[in-house]
Chain A
Amino acid sequence: MLNKYPLWKTLMVLFIVAIGAVYALPNLYPNDPAVQISGLRGIEADAVTLDVVKSHLDGEKISYASIVMEGGQILARFSDTEQQLRARDILDDNMGDEFSVALNLTPATPSWLATIGGTPMKLGLDLSGGVSFLMEVNMKEAINKAQESLIDDFRTGLRGEKIRYRSVKKVNEAITVQFRNAEDLANAENFLEKLNRDLLFVSDEGNLTLSAQMTEQKLKETREYALQQNITIIRNRVNELGVAEPLVQRQGQKHIVIELPGVQDTAKAKEILNATATIEFRLVDTEGDLSAALNGRVPGSSQLLKERNGQPVLLKKRVMLTGDHIVDAGSSFDEYSRPQVNITLDSAGGSKMLNSTKSNIGKPMATVFIEYKPTDRVDAEGNTIFEKIEEVISVATIQARLGKTFRITGAGSQAEAHNLALLLRAGALIAPIQIVEERTVGPTLGAENVRLGFQAIMLGFGLVFLFMLIYYRAFGVVANLALGANLVLIVGIMSMIPGATLSLPGMAGIVLTVGMAVDANVLIFERIREEMREGKSIQQSIHQGYDAAFSTIIDANITTLIAALILFAIGTGPVKGFAITLSIGILTSMFTAVVGTRTVVNAVWGGKRLDKLSI
């Protein structure tokens, strides 16, 4: 018999739509305003913390809907945002340094849905409010740094091999070592070449120099490393900010995207993200003549820097230890109530520190604070020029051998010590970064965008619904069922895909899909009408209508899908969001319009003699 689907086919369609509906369901439950308290530096919130949080909230008579501890974090839900904001302020003031308190919107998904993995769609910043940054890594500085560390390696390596050299310095883009005789040059070349296979060595026997240049490959690796390392460090810093569901992602060759939903205090966020501060420990050059240095005669192995109070200090260029070895840092007060920063080093750093302090007991050691600040000037390629600011924050006499843990004083205030500790803990950026794009969306605008977008979807949906109903009558009802199922499937799939975020252009994509999704049905229905006009029987017309329209639908949709996929691959931000919903929409609409409506049509009209068809 014509137009009969086997039962399994009908069941399959029903099953797919049902799955879509279940996973779309969490979106019907609005999010609860919540406050999330999480421990920093390896500290986990426990039952004691829970009691502390409770007592603070009870003390201020703030009522919470629920408060639970899960995975080392405490989550307190509130019935409205007013209570939530008050709670945040109270807890922020009272929970101290070891915990971060962040605002959060927590899905109120029923537990049975949550257990099968049901979550609502993630909303983009334009819908939820928050701030996004696009950061650019200064690759020039990254290369510079790599070269500087090579110079250091060359010096220590040659010294270790007892090969005498005059100088090691950067000339143009190469590192050039000057020797006294040809024998040293040959030895050095032999030795260094073995150690650095990714460098290109050129020796000049006439001038007794050996120069090393980074290969294209090595340059590429250095850039890649700088980007990856910076991403890791920014992730750490974002975590310190205590933002719920932050996003840190690379974009292209030198950009990093950071999205912080719900963050309104952009100044604070910027300060933490953008800071490229690190510290170095260096010995004070006690033999050098300070007054001569002030007049411009600085010894070659030393550098003239200033303390915070403007006092000049002559420091050895050689760095005892850099900030890379710091694994933890915190702030507290010393016995004279001055702010201090407590530092813990990794084991390599610990032994380095031990070695270099051992032979220098009684000598002064300086802590140098280094910061890269973007200037208003740009270089020929349009990149911002960074200014390296070095400042001595403390000079202290080494009293004993220093090991893995020690402290530094000299930070101006407690807040400064706190910030410095935070930065040291989060690691220093390998290369300075700069904000090239910043977008902040207020929460009110976000909520309004959601409301308007939803209204537009509903209105557009309603209009199409009405039109199809009038134009195709009973078959219009079928098309509308498909349209509804299509919407449910899009929402369901968007909720299921972990990385998918719904943004305003994404909503527009859904609206557009609704408009275009009926196209397949229009094609089929028009074909059926045509076949009927040609005098074919009704069952025959339905059958051939679907058949003939099929290849057209496939061709038309695949070409649109190509466009959508290219948008997804190449586009960023809003374009990408639009491409995701459009691609999903095309796939689901093909399914609902071709298979879905056929199932309904077959079930209602299939397999019997008909004289007329309501189409």
Chain B
Amino acid sequence: MQILQLKNTVAFMSYRKAALLLSIVLMLASVVSLATNKLNFGLDFTGGTLIEVGFEQAADLNKIRSLMDTNGYDDAVVQLYGSSRDVVIRLATRENVKADMLGNQVLDILQSGTGQTIDMRRIEYVGASVGDELAEQGGLAMLTALICILVYVAFRFEWRFALGSVFALFHDVLLTLGLFSFLQLEFDLTVLAAILAVIGYSLNDTIVVSDRIRENFRKVRVGTSEDIINISLTQTLSRTVITSITTLLVLAALFFQGGALIHGFATALLLGVFVGTYSSVYVASSVALALGISKEDLIPEVIEKEGADQEQMTP
């Protein structure tokens, strides 16, 4: 079976102005959303208490809310989690109560208020200072990752590609974050891990494309830089699409089957893979092109490589 086996080269780069516009609009929208909506930070970052309980029968959320209200927890966020019998309650950090006792208190309130036996499934309590540290650490991790990648790609390829791929990563991370903020999805540690996985994935894609561009710059003797990039993108398109499909397939499995705890993770990756696939086609190569990548830039490396390659290729 074959899909997307294109006979003619697609002139991807001729749409690059439109793509650039789209990217800029989306990135601006993300920045605006992040600035106004902010990220809906989960417990990991904000600190506070989360209690997940399982009821015997379907839980009456209104009753639970009023119970919490009358007992002085008027800031409690009560939600169903996965099924009608599983309830998750979130509380902000409070000053006058010793925070690590909170979970037990809430459990008592619910148990006596509803008369049902409640199965304590999960209690998480995170101090606010830990959250700050984590946010700092997460940001640091992302920055370090971007720098290391920049260095590696610049070393293996060329600085224009390195800038292009790092810009693509930045683009993907920003858009994914923007979507999370726009949809007000909860941003917790697993989502952070997912975003970093998006970096890995998008990079994977970008490198494959850049690799082909480098190869074609050496092999194809005629045509402008733009033509060569178009040829390369067309050649790698089916691979890009197929890998995206298989990854999306497993992510869909994770999204629908992985359970509530992993939902945010799966969502972030699903979004990230879409954005990452788009950016590997348009963003990285457009940037390299805009920075004026040309045959000459890759020639010094070429001579050495070609010799080495040819020896291997001789049957």
**A-side interface residues toward B, CB under 8 Å?**
2, 126, 134, 136, 252, 266-267, 270, 374, 376, 382-383, 435-442, 444-445, 448-449, 452-453, 455-457, 459-461, 463-464, 467-468, 470-471, 473, 504-505, 507-509, 511-512, 514-516, 518-519, 522-523, 526, 529-530, 540, 543-544, 547-548, 551-552, 555-560, 562-564, 566-567, 570-575, 578-579, 582
Contacts and interface: CB of A to CB of B under 8 A. Distances in A.
A476 B296 CA distance: 40
A460 B130 contact: no
Contact of A570 (B121, B140, B246, B249): B140
Contacts of B193: 505, 508, 567, 571, 574-575, 578-579
Contact of A530 (B235, B246, B254, B265): B235
Q: Closest 3 A-B residue pairs measured CB to CB? A: A460-B250, A460-B253, A436-B127
Contacts of A473: 1
Contacts of A540: 315
A448 B259 contact: yes
Contacts of A558: 152
Nearest to B305: A551
B192 interface: yes
A219 to B, nearest CB: 21
Contact of A560 (B203, B238, B265, B309): B203
Nearest to B141: A570
A511 B152 contact: no
A567 B250 contact: no
A468 B259 CA distance: 26
Interface in B77-134: 95-98, 100, 103-104, 119-130, 133-134
A468 B124 CA distance: 41
Contact of A382 (B104, B129, B261): B129
A480 B280 CA distance: 26
Nearest to B238: A526
B197 A582 contact: yes
Interface stretch (B19-27, B61-69, B205-213, B286-294): B205-213
B243 A519 contact: yes
Interface residues of B, number: 80
Contact of B269 (A376, A512, A518): A512
Nearest to B126: A437
Contacts of B128: 382
A284 to B, nearest CB: 34
Given A463-B249, A548-B215, 10 more contacts: A126-B261, A270-B100, A376-B95, A437-B125, A440-B103, A460-B254, A512-B197, A512-B269, A552-B212, A558-B152
16 contacts: A136-B127, A436-B130, A441-B121, A449-B261, A460-B250, A471-B242, A505-B262, A514-B250, A519-B247, A526-B239, A547-B313, A556-B204, A556-B207, A559-B207, A562-B148, A570-B141
Contact of B120 (A440, A464, A505): A440
A255 B265 CA distance: 27
Contact of A445 (B122, B190, B239, B245): B122
Contacts of A444: 54, 119, 121
Nearest to A374: B98
Nearest to A479: B246
B127 A437 contact: yes
Given A376-B96, A574-B190, A562 B124 contact: no
B196 interface: yes
A559 B149 contact: yes
Interface of B: 1-2, 5, 52, 54, 95-98, 100, 103-104, 119-130, 133-134, 137-138, 140-141, 144-145, 148-149, 152-153, 156, 189-190, 192-193, 196-197, 199-201, 203-204, 207-208, 211-212, 215, 235, 238-239, 242-243, 245-254, 257-259, 261-262, 265-266, 269, 309, 312-313, 315
Contacts of A562: 145, 148-149, 152
Contacts of A134: 130
Contacts of B54: 442, 444
Nearest to B86: A445
B196 A567 contact: yes
A515 B123 contact: no
Q: Considering residues A473, A559, A579, which has the most beta carbons from chain B within 10 angstroms of its beta carbon? A: A559
B152 A445 contact: no
Contacts of A563: 145, 148-149, 196-197, 199-200, 203
Contact of B262 (A453, A463, A514, A556): A453
Given A455-B257, A559-B152, A464 B203 contact: no
B259 A449 contact: yes
Q: Considering residues B124, B140, B235, which has the most beta carbons from chain A within 10 angstroms of its beta carbon? A: B124
A515 B247 contact: yes
A515 B148 contact: no
B100 A438 contact: yes
A267 B144 CA distance: 40
A376 B95 CA distance: 6
Nearest to A540: B315
Contacts of B262: 452-453, 456, 504-505, 507-508
B239 A439 contact: no
A519 B247 CA distance: 9
Contacts of B259: 448-449, 452-453, 456
A539 to B, nearest CB: 8
Contacts of A564: 200
B208 A556 contact: yes
Contacts of B129: 136, 382-383, 436
A317 B262 CA distance: 57
A256 B208 CA distance: 42
Contact of A582 (B1, B200, B261): B200
Nearest to B236: A526
Contacts of A468: 246
Given A459-B257, A582-B197, A376 B265 contact: no
Contacts of A574: 189-190, 193
B248 to A, nearest CB: 8
B111 to A, nearest CB: 15
A570 B124 CA distance: 22
Nearest to B192: A575
Nearest to A476: B1
Contacts of B98: 374, 376
A547 B315 CA distance: 12
B269 A559 contact: no
A442 B253 contact: no
Contacts of B148: 562-563, 566
A557 B259 CA distance: 29
B253 A522 contact: no
A53 B247 CA distance: 54
A467 B254 contact: no
B149 to A, nearest CB: 6
A449 to B, nearest CB: 6
A554 to B, nearest CB: 9
A524 to B, nearest CB: 10
Nearest to A382: B129
A555 B265 CA distance: 26
A574 B138 CA distance: 12
Contacts of A438: 100, 103, 123-125
A442 B120 contact: yes
Nearest to B241: A522
Contacts of B309: 547
B1 A445 contact: no
B159 to A, nearest CB: 15
A2 B312 CA distance: 12
A530 B237 CA distance: 12
Nearest to B210: A555
Given A442-B122, A444-B121, A556-B204, A567 B243 contact: no
B305 to A, nearest CB: 9
B253 A573 contact: no
A505 B268 CA distance: 13
B104 A267 contact: yes
A505 B103 CA distance: 24
A244 B139 CA distance: 36
A575 B246 contact: no
